[in-house]
Structure 1
Amino acid sequence: MAECKKESCEGCPSASSCGQKPASMLAPANPASHIHKVVGIVSGKGGVGKSMVTASLANLMAAQGYKVGILDADITGPSIPKMYGVHGPAEMDGDYIKPVETKNGIKTMSINLLLPDEESPVIWRGPILANMVKQFWSDVIWGELDFLFVDMPPGTGDVPLTVFQSIPVDGIVVVTSPQDLVSLIVKKALHMAESMHIPVLGVVENYSYVVCPDCGKEFKIFGESGLDKLAEEMNLPILGRMPIEPKLAELADGHFDEANNHYLAMAESLLMALEG
C-alpha cells in the first residue's frame, strides 16, 4: 500500500480524518487593516431592524471615542449609506478601496458606494455575493479600528455562511422583535452560529413599544414580548430593547450620524459581553 502523503491528500474530503489539518477558510485581511473586534448583527428574517441596531451601536461606540467601521454585507438590500447620507464612488488607493467616512467618523463600505447608480439593483447569484463580502474584508483599507460591525443580510444563506467562515467574527448580536413567529425564526440564526462556533453576545429586541407623546405611557404595538422566554431558553443576555421612535426613523433618512445619544446602555451591555 502506498504511503499517505500530504500531496496525495490535497482535495480529498476525508483529509481531516487522515491526520491532515483542514486549511483555514479565513480570507486574508487587508495588510493596512488592524481590527480589534468584529461583531456581526444578524437575524433569521428581514425587517426586524438589523441596520438600525448596527448603526445605533456604531454611533454609540464612536461617541465614546472608539474607532468604528461598518461593513454592509447586505449586498442586495444595502441601507447603511442611505442612513448616513454618504455617497460613492469610493476612492481607490492602488489596488485597494478606501472606505467612505460618515460625518461622525465611522468608516463604511457598501455595494452602493461602488455602483455607478445607487438605485441599480444587484442581480447576482449567491457565490458572487459571497465573494463581494470577502472583498470588503480583504480589499478595503479599514486601518486601525476598535470595532467593525457587520450588517448581515437576513437568513442563513450564502452570505452569512461566508461571513462566518471567511471573517474572524468575535461574536454576533441577534436582533428580534416581539412577535412569536420572529422569535422562532431567530432561533435558526442562533443554531447556525452555534454550529459554526461563533459566540452569541446577546439579543436586542426592536419595536418593543411606543411611547405616547402626550401621556408618556408605553404601548406594546406587537403585543407582549417573548424576549425573556427566548433569552432564558437560549441562555443569552438581553443587550437592550429598542422602542418605535419616530425621531430615529427621521434620522435614518440620511442623518443617522446625529443619533449618538440613544441607547447608551445597549453599548455598555455589548462591551460587557465582549469582555466576558
Structure 2
Amino acid sequence: MTERADIFVSTEWLAAHLGDPSIAIVDGSWYLPTAGRNAATEYAAAHIPGAVFFDIDKVADTTSGLPHMLPSAELFAATVGAAGISDKQTIVVYDGAGLFSAARVWWTFRVFGAKDVRILDGGFPLWKTEGRPLESGLPSATAKTFHATLDSDAVRTIDDVKSVIADHSAQIVDARPADRFRGEAPEPRPGLRAGHMPGSHSVPFGEVVANGRLKSADDIKSVFAAADIDPSQPIVTSCGSGVSAAILSLALTTIGADKVSLYDGSWAEWGSKADTPVETGPA
C-alpha cells in the first residue's frame, strides 16, 4: 500500500537535497484562467533552485482539441529528457498554490513509468514563507534519458466511462465544485452542458485539501465515506479538465485505494458532446 510518507517530502528534506543529482525538482504550477496568474512568468521570476518548469498545456497532446490531454509516451520522454529529468531520479513536484496542479504532474509522471515521484508538502507557498532559497531566470539543462511507457490501466477514455456507466463496474467521482456538479452554475469553458455523468458522486477537491496541503487520512476517509465511495472498489476520478481529478486520485492513493484511474478528457470532453447522458441535481 502507498503511504502518505511515500508520496510527500518536507521542505526541510528538499532543502537538504538541493543540488543532489539524484533529485529532479519540477515546478508544475498551472492556474485556471479566472485566477489571473501566469505560471511561466512566476516561475521565471522565482522558483526553487534547480527546478525546471513543466507546462501541462505544452507537455500534452495539442492536436486533441481538449485541454492538457496526455501526450504520447514518445513526446513525454523527449520533452522531460530534454529538460534534464531521468526516470531513475527521485522527482519532486511542487506548485504555486500549495497543492493543485502538482497532483496532475505527479500523476502524469507516474502514468509514464517514473518509479519515485514525490510532492513537496505545502508547495511553493510554504517554501517561501520559511524563507528558503530562491532563484530566477530560465536555467539551462543537461539532457537525460527518460524511458516512458504509458500505464493504460490508469487512464480512462470517454468510451471507457460510457461502459462504466452502463455496467456499474466502477465508481465515478467528480472533483468539480458542487454547484457545477448539480448543474446550477455554468461551466467556465464555453459550449459545455451543465450537470454530471449519470451515477457519479460529487467530491469537490477542496474537501480533501486545506491551506494548500492534503488533509489527514482520517479526514479523507470521512469525505469519501460521506459521498458513499468505497475505496476498496474501482474508482474513476473526473473534473473539468483532468487537473483536480488528480487531487482526488492522490487523496485516494494515500488511504490505500489501489484501483483508481482518471478520465483524462473529463467534463471538457463529456459536456461538449451531444450524445453523452447528463444529469442535474444532487447525486
TM-score under structure 1 length normalisation: 0.31
Please state which structure has a larger fraction of its residues in strand: 1
Bigger relative contact order, structure 1 or 2, given CA contacts below 8 A and separation 6+? 1
- Whose radius of gyration is greater, 1 or 2? 1
TM-score under structure 2 length normalisation: 0.30
